[in-house]
Amino acid sequence: MKMNRGRIVKRSIAFVWLVVLFCCLFVVLISVLRLPEVSNGRKAIGLYHTTKTRESSENEFSSIGKFGEKMIEMLPEDLAFTVFVPSERAFERDLRLRKNESLVEKMNDDTYATISRVLGFSAIPRTITSGNVSFGEETLYDSISGFVLYISKDVDGMLVVNRVRSETVDIKRNKIVVHVMDGVIMDAEFEESVQPDEEEGK
């Protein structure tokens, strides 16, 4: 009787283990079948299809502009950075830098100093794509100069940094991610120093 009872207990335990094992395998199988497609790195993850990379269009890539190119050249290519580069229009409107005038040899030192200062405000030593930013949330990052950047995402997937909206997002240059902005990200002190002529002219 005792031996029979022992066999029944052992068989019951074995049966329970088999059921548990089958359930685990079933859950794993269902999970694998329902996994979403893996992104190939050229598309933003989520609702928005806003990622723009060098491979997708040379015209989009050229939207960085001459001054933006100079900013990117100041960074090491083999390290991960995110740069919020002002558009050519923003450089001219907000900093009065015009590529035909500001890139001539006699103005080169002043232009370099201005661009490097802007880079300090707008570069982050890590990769941030539009897919990393959730809609409706604001994320804080320190730029390489220590200036705090408040980054959020609009309904259309464009990034907003310190109230400056992006024109193009997720342009990739080696390990550097570039977002072209419709404005210049800078602190109040630097903004005052680059715009005194406008006040005097009024």
68 and 124 inside one domain: yes
**Which of 47-61, 71-85, 97-111 is most confident?**
71-85
Q: Which domain holds residue 171?
A: 58-200
- Position 54 confidence tier, pLDDT thresholds 50, 70, 90: very low
- Residue type at position 103: L
What strands, in cross-sheet order, belong to the sheet with 81-86? 123-124, 81-86, 176-181, 164-173, 159-161, 148-153, 139-142
Angle value at C-alpha 118, between 163 and 90, nearest 5 degrees: 60
67 and 121 inside one domain: yes
Asked, for residue 53, whether it belongs to a domain, the answer is no
Asked, for residue 186, whether it belongs to a domain, the answer is yes
Question: How far from 161 is each of 22, 68, 107, 145, CA to CA, in Å?
Answer: 51, 17, 29, 16
Computed over every residue of the chain, the mean pLDDT equals 77
Compute the distance between CA of residue 116 and CA of residue 119 in angstroms, rounded to an integer.
Answer: 5
